[in-house]
Amino acid sequence: MTPPASSLRIGIAGLGTVGGGVVKLLAAQAALIAARAGQPIVVTAVSARDRTRDRGFSVEGLNWHDNPVALAADPNVDVVVELIGGADGPAKDLAEAAIAAGKSFVTGNKALLAMHGAALAIAAEKAGLVIAYEAAVAGGIPVIKVLREGLAANQISRVAGILNGTCNYILTTMREEGRDFADVLAAAQELGYAEKPDPGLDVDGIDAAHKLAILAGLAFGVKIDFADLHIEGIRRISDLDISFAQELGYRIKLLGIAERTGAGISLRVHPAMVPLSRPLASVDGVFNAVQLEGDFSGPVFLRGRGAGEGPTASAVVADLIDIARGIKIPVWGQAASTLAPAVLTPMAAHEGAYFIRLMVTDQPGVLADVTAILRDHGISLESMLQHGRKPGEAVPIVLVTHETSEAEVGAALLRIATLPSVLEAPALIRIEP
């Protein structure tokens, strides 16, 4: 295929759901995109694992590269688009090769940026190149553009969001249909929302943590060491927890939270009880949402589809349009050389209210033993739930604490778990205001 004389020529590595979506979108909206970009944007080269696969569009006339890194050296490619995934391996090699070849780089790869974003940004900015990554966080929600451009004049104090659609789908379905985690996870895998055979990247919170690391680096102008994030997934959330949450006026969501504290920056991914009155509580299914707090803007709430062919391809092409226009924004909103290492507060220093569920033998003295331990650690209770009596049998008891410290709650639960009447490890879910 011979592109128009004046056009932005792109090479795409990865022709899966998103890569295929980019090819289709560029073809379907060619005239609109050319008008908005000031020139046509055309695909001239691609790389994928299987050349013979039917993807719903033709690759005839495109330069085909079995090795994605070869896209960087293709003379018919101006901008490299990486949609392979993975923090290392071909994705990282391609990013480095593209920059070395003097080509801007567009990616939807949150793991790559969370692990190597600072180093790649320094290399790109020295070469006067762009790294664009709107598709890496929250799919079709333009949260990167909002942080880098729309809120550029603000000090950001807090970023909180539902950053993984798979987990949100699972928790929503558990609540709406009264099913347990394992059952809904299996259904999510059949629907293609969760990976087979190992869904751990999603349900263990890693995917959300990659996205949070990117948002935090951008919001606070710091270099994030991914190993320092506190990460919990949703495997231990039970249908019982969801039922009690509803009764208490909460929804359980897997949240990524980055916030400034007096001692540094708190970065955490974990299930949280969100009051029904809060906007995040109403975000269900595969949707994502992000709430930003700027000192002059106030709260900004963004909601939309966090994954899928159309929304994510839309984000990729938005980046390509900016590059075609000649827009160059620093990768992290400021020169990468000015980013300081983040000073992170340990999770043990977190303070807040907690939901605690115990499974205990229904017998006299159980509550007295539990509350005595809580008292020893300076933890006071706001409320308690126990439904009915089953003498001698296992029953759930739910305790809601007033604000207290993570360290004291953790120490108290270690002691409570050793009580003979406590039949399994206590369940703990943090309550977000």
User: Is the pLDDT confidence value at 1 over 60?
Assistant: no
Report, as an integer, the average pLDDT of 79-86.
97
The DSSP secondary structure of 343-365, one letter per residue, reads -BPPGGG-EEEEEEEEEEE--TT
- Residue 201 banded pLDDT, cuts 50, 70, 90: very high
The DSSP secondary structure of 26-45, one letter per residue, reads HHHTHHHHHHHHSS-EEEEE
Amino acid present at 94: L
Please tell me the predicted confidence (pLDDT) of residue 335: 95
If phi over 0 gives left and psi between -120 and 50 gives alpha, with beta otherwise, what is residue 180?
beta
Report which of 250, 230, 232, 254 is spatially closest to residue 241, judged by C-alpha positions. Answer: 250
Do the domains 143-304 and 350-431 sit in the same CATH topology, yes or no? no
Report which of 169, 232, 224 is spatially closest to residue 205, judged by C-alpha positions. Answer: 232
Tens of pLDDT, residue by residue over 140-191, are 999 999 999 999 999 999 999 999 999 999 999 999 999 999 999 999 999 8
Report, as an integer, the average pLDDT of 126-135.
97
CATH of 350-431, one of 3.30.465.10, 3.10.580.10, 3.30.70.260, 3.50.50.60: 3.30.70.260
Report, as an integer, the average pLDDT of 115-127.
97
Q: What is the mean pLDDT of the chain?
A: 95
Tens of pLDDT, residue by residue over 318-350, are 999 999 999 999 999 999 999 999 999 999 999
Report, as an integer, the average pLDDT of 183-204.
92
Amino acid present at 214: I
Three-class SS state of 312: helix
Residues whose CB falls within 8 Å of the CB of residue 157, separated by 6 or more in sequence, listed in order = 259, 260, 293, 294, 295
DSSP element (H, E) containing 408: helix 406-417
Report which of 263, 241, 250, 252 is spatially closest to residue 359, judged by C-alpha positions. Answer: 241
Tell me 93's DSSP state.
H
- Residue 110 banded pLDDT, cuts 50, 70, 90: very high
User: Is the pLDDT confidence value at 2 over 90?
Assistant: no
Tokens of 415: 């002691």
Q: Is the peptide bond before 68 cis (omega within 30 degrees of 0)?
A: no
Cα torsion at 114, 290, 208, 173 (round to 10°)?
Answer: -160
Three-class SS state of 281: helix
Please give the angle made by the CA atoms of 99, 104 and 109, to the nearest 5 degrees.
85
CB atoms under 10 Å from CB of 340, counted, come to: 9
User: Is the pLDDT confidence value at 388 over 80?
Assistant: no
User: What's the CATH fold of domain 143-304?
Assistant: Dihydrodipicolinate Reductase; domain 2 (3.30.360)
Q: Which CATH architecture has domain 8-140+317-336?
A: 3-Layer(aba) Sandwich (3.40)
CB atoms under 10 Å from CB of 420, counted, come to: 10
Report, as an integer, the average pLDDT of 56-78.
95
User: What burial class does residue 48 get, using C-beta atoms within 10 Å of its C-beta: 0-12 exposed, 13-18 middle, 19+ buried?
Assistant: buried
Q: Which residue has the higher pLDDT, 298 or 3?
A: 298
Q: For a pLDDT cut of 90, what percent of the chain falls above it?
A: 91
Please tell me the predicted confidence (pLDDT) of residue 193: 87
Question: What is the radius of gyration, based on Cα positions, of the chain?
Answer: 24
Q: What is the 3-state secondary structure (H, E, C) of 111-156?
A: HHHHHHHHHHHHHHHHCCCCEECHHHCCCCCCHHHHHHHHCCCCCE
Dist CA 156 CA 93 (whole Å): 33
Dist CA 184 CA 285 (whole Å): 12
Tens of pLDDT, residue by residue over 400-427, are 999 999 999 999 999 999 999 999 999 9
b vs e for 146-166, b when ≥16 Cβ sit within 10 Å of the residue's Cβ?
A: bbbeebeebebebbbbbbbbb
Indicate which residues carry an active-site annotation.
211
Terminal C-alpha separation, the chain: 56
- Residue 391 banded pLDDT, cuts 50, 70, 90: confident
Report, as an integer, the average pLDDT of 268-297.
97
Cross-strand pairs, 327: none
Please tell me the predicted confidence (pLDDT) of residue 392: 84
User: Is the pLDDT confidence value at 214 over 90?
Assistant: yes
Please tell me the predicted confidence (pLDDT) of residue 196: 87
Tens of pLDDT, residue by residue over 240-277, are 999 999 999 999 999 999 999 988 999 999 999 999 99
Q: What is the pTM of this model?
A: 0.95
The domains of the chain are located at: 8-140+317-336, 143-304, 350-431
Please tell me the predicted confidence (pLDDT) of residue 5: 59
Tokens of 187: 């259904």
